[in-house]
Every structure is written in structure tokens, then in C-alpha cells.
């Protein structure tokens, strides 16, 4: 396997990625690809303003994960963080603490908000924060414009992403999902270059509807994926008819889909050239798609690196 | 004394006030005047933007003091506060922590900044914060416009107030002090009404040059003091040729003044009708000014209330 491993190591890998689910694969990739050759194109549909601060949950989760400072139990936020400011807001000023902001984590939001107000783009600010945290991998927001994901629900009507996800704990039944302001957004030059220069493009096992769909909705991005020389390969977020964590399976059912890897592959039709299915799933009935079955569960550090290596080696083997 | 005490209790008292020094008298006043009859007109020349947050040091010091949540050792900031966010900014992002912001305290700055960005005036926002902290006394910023105090120094040229005071620890020699943007500022309707309705107007023993001069520089405020029916009385910040705390004496020397209560009374000439001198000082050679000598040191809670009571009783006695 040494040879293919080296092949993978010398590839430029671009990864479309969302929150906690996708970051497991990111943790694996950082072990098997030279960090400087890794570019993450990150969902910012979850971003929102809270207490006057710009919060970018998926950017931060990935940034903290790669920097080794993520809370290992939560999978997001900073490790060993406190919530003194949040408690002060509640106890002194009666502000309801529905969105958890740690004190260490607050440093990120303060600095990002300040740099954005000074006129820097989210791409530039994200690069600045990631470099200060010592990261060599490139972290790119999917676009510089705000493009909030709006969830239309049966019980609560339209909800902003964090209202749906955090305040209402993804309980309301999803009827549809839209990407506000997407007509005013555009693929950034950095994302465009990353897709052009990529040897392999992955779609992480993030929630396809909540985390990846916003990225694909950025004007120009689908066309750039089609135009790219690199193969585009998605990794299944569905294992044995369920999601490992989070609302993927629940949303699929609510949208009238079968909870299966096949339905995810179908959702990515026209975008992907290959699909990494889980070894626990049925083979995909997809004659026009390259597929492989791997262990995608990623229960620990070794399993994360193994899935990253096996996926890249499988794709590198296509050329042979 | 019971009779005069009642007289004082039923008066509307307005107080021009700055930071830590003046708040000692405020703590005393709140014990002897019905809080709803107390209005503080507070220096905002020290305000600045830091990490994208609007920080109002004198407003906060007074607000925390009256709410009983001030750090008793520092005399500012919130009691038993931590600095986790500040440490995260330094350790994770290399941001120099020259201005201490506690985690509990940060709640105030976040909420204030958010409300200001929503378009509320500083007067309205301050009222909102003070009410949420349970205060009945009225806290008014000297004006709604930013009017930063700029210190011209021998060593460092012009410095913003917090740069001078905190970053350089008031070491540079002061050559002059100006009030930036004062031509665009105006006395607020709330300050105007407070001065009109006051029965007694006090100038707290705050630094006359750094803390009170900015208030007097608000266009219209000196004229309003002249027009007011109420007597205007200053309490000396100089005791036995020295300031209790802070740079008052140092600045007086640098500006070529004798470090004396008489020089402070002279600075307030044309504004004040009376002057509370300290019992340790020489009597003032001021024939046109009502003066009294009291113990102004305010070493503890009892002394603070005593000075407040004695001052108000002395003034109430003028009418007799």
C-alpha cells in the first residue's frame, strides 16, 4: 500500500465540508495528506449574528478540531471552556443563554467580528485566524457573502438555522430548506482556485441537506465542480439506515426519502463521480458511479486516518 | 441633625462624576438620598472601542458600584471575575491584553455594543443596563456622541485616554488635554432636564482635568449649570496636597499648578457656588465662594455616607 499512500500524500485535496460529522474525516485527512495540500471549503449557511458577534459554527468546529483545541466530548467549542460571560448575561441582564458561547471560544468571535468590521472578507479573516492557530491547511468559507440557511418547518414556520438546530433542537418537521441571499453570493476566487488546482475533491460525510447543499448552492460552484479535472467523491453519512449523529436520517424521512446511502448518492447525482459507501450498507444500484464499500464509522483516530487513506488510495487507483 | 437630613433626602440631586474617585461619594449619596431622586451625569471622555466593543469605563464603574457588584479591591470591574476570554485572545491569537476585560464584565460590553448597533442612544442603552442591574438612580452619559479625551504628552505625543491611562499607566508628562469631536456633541435632553430639575448639583471628587473637564466641555452644559436654580458645589479631590488615588496631583504639577484644593476651586471658577474643602487643608482664600471643611477621605462605608450627608446638609442650610 506504500506506493498508493505516497500518491495520495502528494495530491492536492479539496474537501466540501460542514460541521461535526465531516470534521471526523478532516481529522483523518490531516494525518495522511500534507496539510499545505489540503483545502477545506466550509459551509457558512449556519452562520449568524448573536450578541452583535459573527458566529461561524462550522468554520470554528473544523478550525478547533484541526488545531487540536476542540472540546473532545462535545465535538465543537474549545476544550475545557467555561461560560462566565454567558452566565453574567443571564444573571445580570436577563439575556436568555440559548446559544452556548464559551469564554475561550468568545475570543474567536470577538476577533473575527472586529476584523470583519474593519472591512476584511470572511475568507481573509478565516485565513488569519487559522494561521494564528498554527494551521497549515487552508480553511475557506464557501463564499464571502452571508447566505443563511432557512428551514421551513411544519410547527414553527421558517426558522434560521441555529433557531432550528439549537433553540428547537432539530425537533420541528422540516418541509423545505432554502438558501437566503444566494442570488447575491458568488464563489470566491480562493474557492474557484482550490477547485481548479485540486487533484481530488471530496464531499465529507456531513449532512447533505443542511451542510453540503448550502455549499452547492453558491452560484458557480456546481459548474466549477463539473469543470474541475479532479474526480469528485462523496463519503456516505448514512450507515446501516441511520446517521451516526445529528438530524440527517430524520430530515431524509421528513423530506419523503428512504434513509439510505443510495438516496444520498442520488442527491449528489450530476455532482459526484464516485461514492464511498459503508461496508455495512447494501451495494449501490448506480451503474454510472464508481463506488466502494469501506468502514466509514470513524470511531477513533486510527479509524479516521484509515478511512481518509483508503478513500484517497481508492481514487488514486482509478488512473491506473 | 434629623431635620436637615430629611431635607437632603427629599432633594433632587444631580452629580457630575467620573471614575473610581467620584464613585466613593456616589456610594455615600445612595445611602442618604432616595435613589429615584439621584441623577449621575457621567464622564464618557474615557470611552473607547476595543475588540469591536464599546467600553465605557466610568459608566461601568459607577453602575457596578451602585449595583454592589464592583470588585472591592480594584474599585472597578466586576467582583470575583475571571479573564478567560482575554487569555484565549492572547494565547490562541496573539492579541496583547493591555486592557483588562473580565468575563462577567464582557457581558456589559457585548450587550451595550449590540444595543448601540441597533440604533439606540448611549443614554437609552445606559438606562436599560442600569435598570436590568436593578438600579433606581438615573445614570446618564454626559452626551450621546463620542467625545474622546485626547492627552497630549511630552514623550508619546497625543494619546487616547486609555492608552495614556492604562497602556502607559499615566507615566507620560501631560502637556494639554483636548476633547475630540466636542463641536459635534450636544447636551442630551435627559442631562438638560436633570440639571433643570435638580435642587442640588454636586461635582464629585473625581479628577477635575481628566474626568470633570470633559463633562464641562459638552456644548451647552456650562450654560445649563449657570442657568440652573440649584447651587453647584464641588468636593475637593485634593487632601493635604495629594490625591487619594490616581494622577490628579501629578497632572496638576505637570500643568504648572500648585497641588492644592484652592487650585481645584480656581479651575471650577464660574461654575461652582460652593466648595467642600477637606478638614486637613488650609481654608480657601475665596471670598466669593461658600466653603466648608469636612472629612473628605471616605475610607469606609460610614465615612462615604457621612460626607454625602454632611455636604447635603451644609448646602440645605444655605436657604435657612
The tens digit of pLDDT for each residue in B240-284 reads: 988 888 899 999 999 999 999 999 999 999 999 999 999 999 999
Q: Indicate yes or no: CB of B105 within 8 angstroms of CB of A88.
A: yes
| Higher pLDDT among residues A5 and B252, named by residue | B252
Radius of gyration (Cα) for chain A, nearest Å?
19
Residue B81 distance to chain A (closest CA, Å): 8
What is the per-residue pLDDT for A37? 96
Residue A278 is assigned to a structural domain of this protein: yes
Distance from CA of B97 to the nearest CA of A (A): 12
pLDDT at B225 exceeding the cut of 70: yes
What's the grid cell of residue B164? 495614556
pLDDT at B8: 55
Q: Which residues of B touch A95 (CB under 8 A)?
A: 107, 111
Q: What is the CATH number of the domain that holds A152?
A: 3.40.50.10680
Q: What is the pLDDT of residue B320?
A: 61
CA distances A168 to A48, A99, A153, A265, Å, are 16, 11, 11, 29
* pLDDT recorded at residue A9: 66
d(CA A312, CA A198): 13
Helix (H, G, I), strand (E, B) or coil at A86: helix
Q: Extract the C-alpha cell encoding A180.
A: 437566503
Q: Which of A111-120, A238-247, B34-43 has the lowest mean pLDDT?
A: A238-247
DSSP assignment, residue A208? Answer: I
Q: Classify residue A127: in a domain, yes or no.
A: no
Residue B72 falls inside a structural domain: no
**A149 belongs to a structural domain:** yes
Query: Predicted ipTM?
Result: 0.91
Indicate the residue of B87, B95, B107 with minimum beta-carbon distance to A92.
Answer: B107
Give the nearest chain B residue to A89 (CA atoms).
B107
Whether residue A142 lies inside any domain: the answer is yes
Residue B99 lies in a domain: no
Please tell me the distance from the alpha carbon of residue B157 to that of residue B45, in angstroms, as a whole number.
Answer: 18
Mean pLDDT value across residues B45-71: 96
* Span A86-97, average pLDDT: 95
Non-local CB neighbours of B246 within 8 Å, separated by 6+ positions: B19, B20, B21, B170, B207
d(CA B276, CA B199): 17
A53 membership: H or E segment, kind and range = strand A53-55
Q: Indicate the SS3 state at residue B277.
A: strand
Q: Which of A69, A88, A93 sits opposite B103 (nearest CB)?
A: A88
pLDDT bin (cut points 50, 70, 90) of residue B287 is: confident
B213/B151 Cα distance (integer angstroms): 12
Query: Is B169 within 8 Å of B134 (Cβ atoms)?
Result: no
Phi–psi pair at B158, nearest 5 degrees? -80, 135
Domain that holds residue B195: 2-45+140-319
User: pLDDT at residue A224 above 90?
Assistant: yes
pLDDT over 70 at B83, yes or no: yes
pLDDT at A292 over 70: yes
Q: Band of the pLDDT at A2, cuts 50, 70, 90?
A: very low
Inter-chain CB pairs, A–B, below 8 Å:
95
Tell me the mean pLDDT in the region B206-233. Answer: 97
Q: Write down the pTM of the prediction.
A: 0.92
Residue A193 and residue A221 in contact, taking contact as beta carbons nearer than 8 Å: no
Instruction: Give the pLDDT band (50/70/90) at residue A8.
Output: low
pLDDT at site A144: 98
Which pLDDT belongs to residue B9? 66
For the cut 60, the answer to whether the pLDDT of residue A127 exceeds it is yes
| pLDDT above 90: residue B53 | yes
Instruction: Inform me whether the pLDDT recorded for B71 exceeds 80.
Output: yes
Please, which pLDDT band fits residue A288 given cuts at 50, 70 and 90? confident
Mean pLDDT in residue range A34-61: 96
Specify which residues B290 forms β-bridges with: B274
Q: E-strand spans in chain B?
A: 13-17, 38-42, 48-50, 53-55, 138-141, 149-153, 157-160, 174-179, 200-203, 232-235, 238-239, 242-243, 274-278, 290-294
Q: Across residues B112-118, what is the average pLDDT?
A: 96
| pLDDT greater at residue B74 or residue B4 | B74
- Per CB-CB distance under 8 Å, the chain B contacts of A132 are 92-94
pLDDT at B3 over 60: no
The predicted-structure confidence for B135-164, as pLDDT tens digits, reads as follows 999 999 999 999 999 999 989 999 999 899
Which residues have CB under 8 Å from B139's CB, separation 6+?
B40, B42, B59, B62, B63, B66, B126, B127, B130
Give how many domains chain A has, as a whole number. Answer: 1
When pLDDT is cut at 50, 70 and 90, the band that residue B1 belongs to is very low
Q: What is the band of B19 on the pLDDT scale with cuts at 50, 70, 90?
A: confident
Nearest Cα to Cα of residue A274 among A319, A211, A223: A319
**Alpha helices (H) along A133-238:** 161-162, 189-197, 213-216, 221-227
Q: Are A147 and A44 in contact (CB under 8 A)?
A: yes
Q: Binning pLDDT at 50, 70 and 90, where does residue A286 land?
A: confident
Asked whether residue A250 is assigned to any structural domain, the reply reads yes
Give the DSSP per-residue string, B154-207. TTTEEEEHHIIIIISTT-SPEEEEEETTGGG--B-HHHHHHHHH-SEEEE-SS-
| Residue B125 belongs to some domain of the structure | no
Q: What is the pLDDT of residue A320?
A: 61
Looking at residue B2, its pLDDT comes to 42
**Mean pLDDT of the region B177-189:** 96
CA–CA min distance B84, chain A (Å): 6
Amino acid at each position: 500500500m506504500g506506493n498508493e499512500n505516497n500518491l495520495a500524500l502528494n495530491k492536492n485535496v479539496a474537501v466540501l465540508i460542514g460541521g461535526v460529522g465531516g470534521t471526523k474525516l478532516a481529522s483523518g485527512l490531516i494525518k495522511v495528506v500534507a496539510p499545505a495540500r489540503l483545502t477545506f471549503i466550509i459551509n457558512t449557511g449556519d452562520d449568524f449574528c448573536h450578541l452583535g458577534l459573527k458566529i461561524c459554527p462550522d468554520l470554528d468546529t473544523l478550525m478547533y478540531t484541526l488545531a487540536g483545541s476542540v472540546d473532545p466530548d462535545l465535538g465543537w467549542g474549545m476544550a475545557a471552556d467555561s461560560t462566565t460571560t454567558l452566565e453574567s448575561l443571564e444573571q445580570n441582564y436577563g439575556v436568555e443563554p440559548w446559544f452556548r458561547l464559551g469564554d475561550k471560544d468568545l475570543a474567536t468571535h470577538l476577533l473575527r467580528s472586529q476584523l470583519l468590521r474593519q472591512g476584511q472578507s470572511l475568507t481573509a479573516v478565516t485565513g488569519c485566524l487559522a494561521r494564528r492557530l498554527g494551521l497549515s491547511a487552508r480553511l475557506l468559507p464557501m463564499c464571502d457573502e452571508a447566505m443563511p440557511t432557512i428551514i421551513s418547518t411544519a410547527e414553527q414556520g421558517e426558522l434560521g438555522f441555529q433557531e432550528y438546530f439549537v433553540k428547537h433542537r432539530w425537533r420541528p418537521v422540516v418541509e423545505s430548506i432554502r438558501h437566503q441571499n444566494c442570488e447575491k453570493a458568488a464563489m470566491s476566487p480562493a474557492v474557484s482556485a482550490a477547485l481548479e488546482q485540486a487533484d481530488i475533491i471530496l464531499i465529507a460525510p456531513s449532512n447533505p441537506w443542511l451542510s453540503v447543499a448550502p455549499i452547492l448552492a453558491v452560484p458557480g460552484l456546481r459548474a466549477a465542480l463539473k469543470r474541475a479535472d479532479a474526480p469528485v467523491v462523496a463519503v456516505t453519512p448514512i450507515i446501516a439506515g441511520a446517521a451516526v449523529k445529528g438530524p440527517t436520517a430524520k430530515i431524509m424521512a421528513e423530506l419523503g426519502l428512504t434513509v439510505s446511502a443510495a438516496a444520498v448518492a442520488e442527491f449528489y447525482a450530476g455532482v459526484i463521480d464516485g461514492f464511498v459507501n459503508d461496508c455495512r450498507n447494501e451495494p449501490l444500484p448506480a451503474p454510472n458511479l464508481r463506488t466502494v464499500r469501506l468502514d466509514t464509522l470513524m470511531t477513533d483516530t486510527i479509524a479516521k486516518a484509515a478511512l481518509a487513506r483508503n478513500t484517497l488510495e481508492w481514487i488514486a487507483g482509478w488512473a491506473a
